[in-house]
Structure 1
Amino acid sequence: MLIQIVLFDGFDPLDVIAPFEVLAAGADAAGSALTVELVSVEGPREVVGGTRGLTLRATARLDPARPGYVVVPGASGPTTGDPDEGVATIPVLLARFADSAAVPLRAALDNPDVTVAAVCGGSLALAMAGLIEGRHAVTHHLGMDALDATGVRAVPARVVDDGDLVTSGGVTSGLDLGLHLLDREFGPRVAHAVEILFAYERRGTVWRAAGHLPVTV
């Protein structure tokens, strides 16, 4: 199985590294042939992140036809500023990525053998591309209103599992996303082994559209 983590200019480094480390460790713990790969829409290249220019290398082109997972990170950069003056704010970075990646990401979402996952602002990028209208998802708490405005059913949970779309909230939730994906693929014992290895316990309940509706809050 292949897990493709998508890099784009201005990506948030922790959104990438947190799930990458967790999933790689899970593959080792499961003795699985699961492969975690950094990719970009353009193909192999050096990709500059949004935090102090930290750079990672995409080793392949995003391939939505390959079974497995496609993980979309959020962006890192200024939250305010005038784009007309050349300020690449987080919304601008996400919108640029959404424009460039809309076609392959739509193909990934249409592929029954692929689950698309997103960390933090990654779900906003999917929403900006018009790909997840009507779906349940979460993003960073500062972007929840924007997510809702695109027609997405925003859920204030740490991780939201909507079947072939799995999203997580703020930056550190990439750890929880990775552990949840391990639990989905290999079961709780492998996920727990990685929790022990990383000295980290998952936070919150994974939200699904299942079970009884709460009568009161």
Structure 2
Amino acid sequence: MLMQIVLFEGFDPLDVIAPFEVLATGADLAGRPQDEVRLVAADGPGEVTGATRGLGLRAAAALDPAAPGYVIVPGAGGAVAQIPAILGRVAQSALIPQVRAALDAPGVTVAAVCGGSLALALAGLLRGRPAVTHTLGMDALAATGARPVRARVVDDGDLVTAGGVTSGLDLGLHLVEREYGPRVAVAVQELFEYERRGTAWRDAGAEPVGA
């Protein structure tokens, strides 16, 4: 299984690093070291600059939308006033056709943290689907035709979204529980000395999960 976390110019570093560490640790604790967590970019390998004081990370490969596993889209960072412009550029970038292909591919779940959900919504990928983003973007999310849900994590099957910046930890733990079970998720929480926050929401009358 391949877990791909997408980098784009202006990404928020915590949206990337939090799920990366949680997912990698979950795979290790589950005895699944073959499950790779990889930093990727729409246009291939190379250094990508985040929005926090020029902090950069290196994409190891191009995004493969057909690879079974997860594609995780972070939000944007930096000054609040600059974030809408960054997300708008992402919504019109080469990343969007690749994420659309991932949503259509069997065995692939697309996930997004914070403003990453809004970027996908602005591109029309979340129309009619339950989702969450940062609290400051919930009205904009609704305006795109998505169904905003005020929860920490919203699980709609092949689409999983999470709220504000620190919810990248909760998203990672939710995906670990989906993939490896609650025992491994709890083990990761204990190792990280972190307790999941809020509600992980599922549709169709399913029981909410989460602390």
Shift of 1:112: 2.1
The partner residue of 1:123 within 103, 117, 133 is 117
Which residue does the alignment assign to 1:184? 178
State the Cα deviation string for residues 38-72 of structure 1 (Å, max 9, x = none). Answer: 00001001000000100000010011011100000
- Count of aligned pairs: 205
Query: What pairs up with 1:1-217 in 2 under 5 angstroms?
Result: 1-32=1-32, 33-80=34-81, 89-100=82-93, 101-211=95-205
Give distance in 2, aligned partners of 1:124 and 1:51. Answer: 19
Question: Moved runs in structure 1, 4+ residues, more than 4 A?
Answer: none
Q: Distance in 1 between matches of 2:29 and 2:120?
A: 31
> 2: CA distance between counterparts of 1:173 and 1:189?
20
Moved more, 116-125 or 95-104: 95-104
Q: TM-score, normalised by structure 2?
A: 0.95
Residues 212, 126 of structure 1: CA spacing in aligned structure 2 closer, same or farther, 3 A cutoff?
closer
TM-score (norm 1): 0.92
Query: Which SS does the other structure have where 1:207 is aligned?
Result: strand
Question: Equivalent pairs: percent with the same residue?
Answer: 72
Alpha-carbon distance in structure 1 between the residues aligned to 2:199 and 2:28:
26
Gapped regions of structure 2 (runs ≥ 5): none
Gaps of at least 5 residues in structure 1 are: 81-88
- The structure with the largest alpha-carbon Rg is 1
Match of 1:83 in 2: none
Task: Provide the C-alpha distance between the structure 2 equivalents of 1:212 and 1:63, rounded to a whole number of angstroms.
Answer: 31
Q: Over the residues paired in the alignment, what is the CA RMSD in angstroms?
A: 1.1
